[in-house]
């Protein structure tokens, strides 16, 4: 292990953050299809060149994950400042961040415990509907967001019994069935707005209304900029939490359950306990993201939480590489933004994702980015 | 025969798989501190015996007493907590994980698993990780000093014989009272088998209290390391005694050892 000097760490982190920031800026700023195509080409070339020469991995290693995360957050803030009056771009950014948070929740289930969940959009919806029902009242919105997570975890516990009795394809089918049931339940439930859905008030924390456009330092700042910040904070928190879970005995036990149930059982690891833990934690994370997303958009309907949306979340996981959070973030950006930016492919996006997922599974079964070995978490590392 | 009660004894232990009788009323005793060899032809019920013992399959009939308490029909988790760990015939290490992770799985019973401890009390967690790393390195040191320095390398890059050693260390991490080794020499060269025998003898020397049951096809291993042997056939005990006694039994010689 090489120890890097602090200055070098900061510089590496800033350099990497700048590269990521510039690429993302290009993608967000590009208007015409030709420009978007060129930017995507630039992204592909940069990543390919960076990996081929080993510059990108070396920078990442030199920076270390903490400074790197900070520098990416800084790049995010700069980007939000640059696009401060462009609600469309800001909405895209916030949506990608919230989708990333939801995928982090699913990551705990799929990639750590090995429990499939093809009802990600349904749990996202549980969070959203909870926010819609509770957010209208006097309850502080931070508590409403926590309740969204708790509700998603609680609804998810309906699936525990069947999920603990099955594995693999059968467990996946149970979650698919739940996702379909959830949508039907919403459509026939007039109390929740039926097929028309519900309107939500905007997020308001300590009197600060996130929906309002404001004058800040002489700039006209769109309300979505504040949602971007909130989503960013949530995403950082989720990354922090998931990383800590993975780099601890919790992660070791979840890995043991995923990789070999028989061996795990022979070393005292309760399969049920760990699967329940992963499902509950994952669904709670998805639910919080769903709650914030619903408040940001201001309106939810059953159509937002279809099986296809769940599949989009799963395809992000598969593309990003199960077990790699950086890959996951990249995949979330690509899958959320590219169809929005390239309108002609909008209609074909499910088709394209399917082809992309099949290609990845055939050519790189581990996902675009490989699973990283757990870093040591002994006292020297912590 | 010593006067002390055996560590493990089975009574009429029976296990059917559909119409196949894998264990047919097996009565077997394992004495405290001994290294018992379990031999017999393929399909004689050796591995099934381990699987029933460790709770992977419940017995169809019969009872298992371990240190005075019945563990028949216990879950694998309860058997682990009672102090029995094992290795598997086909290595069941987690190849995606590091050596350290695999050893930590073995020590599962003494790790702190609370959410708050693991997520927020990182200093204490780090200290516990250090303890596990030190204990793991100590064990690996017995087998292969260079291996002890590769603690955080992925399992997938470790040679076959070292995987076997890590698997035995994983089982030892829980400080078991009874260690079950399911054919540790499987898939090894003659030279590696010899080294593994030395390892086993070294483990016995270091952990005097440890009781071991060893399933093995390599008769050289059985001859050299076991105190006593039990020969199984068709899920029953055919005979038992020292290797010399067992291997001179005419029936055993004719049928299972290929000796004349």
Residue range A118-175, pLDDT digits in tens: 999 999 999 999 999 998 888 888 999 999 999 999 999 999 888 888 888 898 899 9
Q: What CA–CA distances, in Å, run from A269 to A6, A205, A328, A352?
A: 40, 42, 28, 41
Check CB contact under 8 Å for A249 and B54.
no
Radius of gyration of chain A (CA): 21
Are A203 and A292 in contact by the 8 Å Cβ rule? The answer is yes
Q: Name the residue facing B88 among A241, A263, A269 (closest C-beta).
A: A263
Closest residue of B to A268, CA-based? B77
> What digits encode the pLDDT tens for the residues B120-129?
999 999 999 9
pLDDT grade for A1, boundaries at 50, 70 and 90 = very low
The answer to whether the Cβ–Cβ distance between A380 and B126 falls below 8 Å is: yes
Interface contact A255, partner B, CB < 8 A: yes
Confidence (pTM) = 0.90
Q: By percentage, how much of chain A surpasses pLDDT 70? A: 98
CB B54 to CB A374 under 8 A?
no
pLDDT mean over B65-74: 91
Instruction: Read off the pLDDT band of B252 (50, 70, 90).
Output: confident
Confidence at A275, pLDDT banded by 50, 70, 90: very high
pLDDT tens digits, A26-50 = 888 888 888 888 888 888 898 888 8
A contact test, residue of B79, B83, B101, B174 with most A CBs within 10 A: B101
- H helices, E strands: number in chain A: 17, 6
Q: Do B113 and A376 touch (CB under 8 A)?
A: no
- Note whether B125 contacts A376, CB cutoff 8 Å: no
**Contact (CB<8Å) A377/B119:** no
Whether A262 shows a pLDDT value over 90: the answer reads: yes
Tell me which chain B residue has its CA closest to the CA of residue A245.
Answer: B119
> What φ, ψ does residue A346 adopt, rounded to 5°?
-50, -45
Note whether residue B224 is domain-resident. Answer: yes
Q: Which residue, among B9, B145, B146, has the nearest Cα to B71 in the 3D structure?
A: B9
Going by C-alpha positions, the residue among A176, A378, A152, A188 that lies closest to residue A287 is A152
The whole-number average pLDDT for the span A338-352 is 78
Rounded to 5°, the CA angle B79-B208-B77 comes to 10
Do B105 and A378 make contact, defined as CB atoms within 8 angstroms? no
Residue A330: pLDDT band (50, 70, 90) is confident
Interface residue A253 vs chain B (CB under 8 A) = yes
Asked whether residue B205 is assigned to any structural domain, the reply reads: no
Assess A263–B contact: CB distance below 8 Å, yes or no. Answer: yes
- CA-based angle B184:B187:B188, to the nearest 5? 75
Cβ distance of B77 and A241 shorter than 8 Å: no
Distance CA B260, CA B254 (A): 6
- B54, B123, B129 ranked by CB distance to A266: nearest: B54
Asked if B108 has any chain A CB less than 8 Å from its own CB, the reply is yes
Q: What distance in Å separates residue B255's CA from the closest CA in chain A?
A: 33
Distance between start and end Cα atoms, chain A? 15
Contact A263 B94 (CB under 8 A): yes
A contacts of B92 (beta carbons < 8 Å):
260, 262-263
Higher pLDDT, B103 or A338: B103
Within 8 A by CB and 6+ apart from A139, the residues are A147
Which site among B52, B75, B76, B90 would you substitute to test the A interface, given the most A Cβ atoms closer than 10 Å to its Cβ?
A: B76
* CA-based radius of gyration for chain B: 19
Number of A to B CB contacts under 8 A, please give it: 114
Chain-centre distance for alpha carbon A138: 29
Interface contact flag, A249 B133, Cβ < 8 Å: no
The number of domains in chain B is 1
Check which CATH number belongs to the domain holding B240 and give it: 3.40.50.300
pLDDT of residue B3 exceeding 60, the answer is no
CA geometry: angle A281, A285, A288, nearest 5 deg: 135
Mean pLDDT of B211-225: 87
Among B80, B94, B133, beta carbon nearest to A266: B80
Write down the pLDDT at residue A183.
92
Q: Do A267 and B130 touch (CB under 8 A)?
A: no
Query: Nearest CB to B101: which of A252, A260, A269?
Result: A252
pLDDT for A2 beyond 60: no
pLDDT (average), residues B36-55: 90
Residue B244, domain member (yes or no): yes
Domain membership flag for residue B193: no
Token match 């696009």: residue?
Answer: A83
CB contact under 8 A, A263 and B104: no
User: Does residue A211 carry a pLDDT above 70?
Assistant: yes
Answer yes or no: is B4 within a domain. yes
Assess if residue B242 is contained within a domain: yes
How far from chain centre, in Å, is Cα A349? 19
In sequence order, what are the residues at sequence separation of 6 or more whose Cβ sits closer than 8 angstroms to the Cβ of residue A368? A319, A320, A321, A327, A330, A331, A360
Q: By CA distance, what is B119's nearest residue in A?
A: A244
pLDDT tens across B161-211, in order?
A: 889 989 999 999 999 999 999 998 888 888 888 888 788 788 878 877 889
Q: What is the pLDDT of residue B137?
A: 93
**At a CB cut-off of 8 Å and minimum separation 6, what does B101 contact?**
A252, A255, A374, B94, B155
pLDDT surpasses 70 at A382: no
Is the model's pLDDT at B260 over the cut of 70?
no
Tell whether B176 is covered by a domain. Answer: no
Q: Are A127 and A286 a contacting pair, CB within 8 Å? A: yes
Which residues in chain A are closer than 8 Å to B135, comparing Cβ atoms? none
Query: Is pLDDT at A54 greater than 50 in this prediction?
Result: yes
Tell me what pLDDT residue B1 has: 43
Instruction: Print the domain residue range for B65.
Output: 1-32+41-82+216-260
Determine phi and psi for B154, rounding to 5 degrees: -65, 145
- Assess if residue B128 is contained within a domain: no
Q: Is B81 on the interface with A (CB under 8 A)?
A: yes
């Amino acid at each position: 292990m090489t120890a890097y000097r602090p200055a070098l760490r900061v510089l590496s982190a800033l350099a990497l953050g700048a590269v990521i920031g510039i690429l993302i800026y290009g993608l967000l700023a590009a208007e015409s299809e030709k420009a978007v195509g060129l930017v995507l080409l630039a992204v592909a070339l940069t990543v390919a060149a960076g990996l081929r020469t080993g510059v990108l991995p070396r920078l990442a290693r030199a920076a270390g994950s903490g400074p790197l995360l900070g520098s990416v957050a800084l790049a995010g803030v700069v980007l939000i400042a640059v696009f401060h009056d462009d609600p469309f771009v800001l909405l895209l950014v916030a949506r990608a961040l919230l989708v990333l948070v939801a995928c982090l929740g699913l990551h705990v289930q799929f990639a750590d415990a090995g429990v499939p969940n093809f009802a990600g959009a349904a749990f996202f919806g549980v969070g959203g509907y909870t926010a819609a029902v509770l957010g209208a009242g006097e309850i502080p919105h931070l508590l409403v967001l926590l309740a969204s997570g708790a509700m998603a975890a609680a609804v998810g516990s309906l699936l525990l019994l069947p999920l603990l009795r099955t594995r693999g394809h059968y467990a996946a089918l149970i979650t698919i069935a739940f996702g379909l049931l959830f949508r039907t339940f919403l459509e026939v439930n007039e109390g929740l707005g039926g097929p028309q859905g519900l309107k939500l008030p905007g997020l308001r924390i300590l009197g600060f209304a996130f929906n309002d456009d404001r004058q800040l330092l002489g700039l006209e700042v769109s309300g979505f900029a504040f949602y971007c910040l909130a989503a960013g904070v949530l995403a950082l928190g989720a990354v922090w939490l998931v990383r800590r879970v993975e780099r601890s005995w919790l992660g070791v036990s979840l890995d043991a359950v995923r990789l070999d149930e028989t061996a795990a059982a022979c070393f005292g690891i309760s399969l049920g306990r760990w699967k329940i833990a992963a499902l509950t934690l994952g669904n709670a994370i998805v639910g919080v993201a769903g709650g914030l997303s619903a408040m940001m958009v201001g309106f939810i309907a059953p159509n937002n939480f279809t099986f296809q949306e769940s599949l989009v979340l799963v395809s992000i996981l598969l593309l990003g590489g199960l077990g790699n959070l950086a890959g996951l973030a990249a995949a979330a950006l690509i899958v959320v933004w590219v169809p929005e930016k390239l309108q002609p492919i909008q209609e074909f996006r499910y088709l394209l994702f399917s082809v992309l997922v099949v290609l990845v599974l055939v050519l790189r079964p581990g996902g675009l980015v490989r699973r990283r070995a757990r870093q040591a978490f002994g006292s020297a590392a912590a | 025969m010593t006067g002390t009660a055996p560590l493990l004894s089975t009574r009429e232990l029976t296990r059917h798989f559909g119409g196949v009788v894998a264990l047919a009323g097996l009565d077997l005793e394992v004495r405290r501190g001994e290294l018992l060899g379990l031999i017999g032809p393929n399909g004689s019920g050796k591995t099934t015996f381990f699987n029933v013992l460790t709770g992977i399959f419940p017995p169809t009939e019969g009872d298992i007493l371990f240190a005075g308490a019945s563990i028949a029909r216990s879950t694998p988790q309860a058997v682990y907590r009672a102090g029995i760990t094992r290795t598997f015939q086909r290595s069941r290490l987690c190849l995606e994980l590091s050596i350290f992770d695999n050893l930590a799985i073995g020590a599962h019973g003494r790790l702190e698993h609370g959410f708050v401890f693991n997520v927020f009390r990182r200093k204490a967690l780090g200290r516990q990780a250090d303890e596990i790393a030190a204990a793991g390195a100590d064990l690996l040191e017995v087998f292969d000093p260079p291996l002890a320095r590769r603690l955080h390398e992925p399992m997938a890059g470790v040679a076959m014989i070292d995987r076997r050693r890590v698997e035995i260390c994983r089982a030892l991490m829980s400080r078991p009272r009874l260690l079950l080794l399911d054919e540790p020499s499987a898939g090894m060269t003659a030279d590696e088998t010899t080294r593994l025998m030395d390892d086993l003898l070294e483990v016995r020397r270091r952990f005097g209290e440890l009781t071991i049951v060893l399933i093995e096809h390599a008769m050289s291993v059985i001859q050299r390391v076991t105190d006593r042997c039990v020969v199984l056939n068709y899920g029953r005990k055919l005979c038992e005694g020292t290797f010399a006694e067992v291997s001179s039994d005419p029936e055993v010689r004719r049928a299972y050892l290929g000796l004349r």
